[in-house]
Structure 1
Amino acid sequence: MGAALFVLASGFLPWFESQWAVFASGVDGYETNEASAWAASTAWSAALVLNAASAAVAVLLARADHQSHRRRPMRWIPPILSLLGIVLVLWTWIRLPRADTLSGGGWATGVEGDIGDIVRDRLEILHLDGLRYDVGWGLYIGILAMSSLWALLVAQAFVLGKQRKAARP
């Protein structure tokens, strides 16, 4: 259950960042804006919830009656759900549009938005002089957390399979 909490907590780390150059009081510098998975992307949020749900299903299956042979294939449901969550995160990340000019479009927030604003589900990767939109370090921690949970769920599925084989008359 600790791995599931790690997955959910990783969603509050900065999964997407924007950084832009500023000149204030005669000093050049950068401002940074960060967004968690929960604030940046519906797909990333869904993947985190899917992974947490897979852990909950795994707990329920582990407490279920080990004598039932009909439940044997169900032990693979949690790792499959977790893997789907990982694939959803990676697929969403890979499909983020790459913009190389200011006419990229999707990063702009409209008339009322400012440079550096991160708009949920309108993410683009953009690298210009003085302006950068890209995934943050929290995405990598989130993928690590989900991968760790998936590995634990696969191990549990193997253990449950051995327990059920040993319990057969």
Structure 2
Amino acid sequence: MANDFLIVVDMQTDFVSGSLGTPEARSIVAAVAERAAAFEGTVVFTRDTHDACYADTQEGRCLPVAHCRRGTSGWELVDELEHVRRDRDCLVFDKPSFGSLELATWLVEQDSVEPIDSIELVGLCTDICVVSNALLIKANLPEVPLRVESSLCAGVTLAAHDAALATMRSCQIEVL
């Protein structure tokens, strides 16, 4: 039996239809939900998580748009993904920044118990949080096959999406 993982990155209301939402993000919701619901391995989620001090952080100074504040509707997973998370009782990693060190550490622990066969990433935003998590995972588990499903990701712009995919390919992450 395969030990495969699907990481669903930041499929939250603020990134889909809220303060940082885009048509591209909205266009992948149904397909990401379908992939997560049908995935035959372990599905985990990440959630961008900020608090009232966001404006005082480096990210807040560089991106002065309030988003994904803990406890708000914008912080929640979009309904389609929240249903999958609940139905499958999936683990969620709340992260204060682009990549989740906690997720990478947890995957290393899982791999030490039973070798991981593959890890796949989908979600938002390709050029920020997807690439950050992919590179953290690759650095911590360099021999585990890692892939990103490009049609199930969306970037801030199409050009940024494509640039992030090129970066991941350069780092030996398979882009589907």
> Shorter chain as normaliser: what TM range?
under 0.3
Indicate the structure with greater helix content.
Answer: 1
Query: Which has the larger Rg?
Result: 1
TM-score by length of structure 2 reads 0.25
* TM-score, normalised via structure 1 length: 0.25
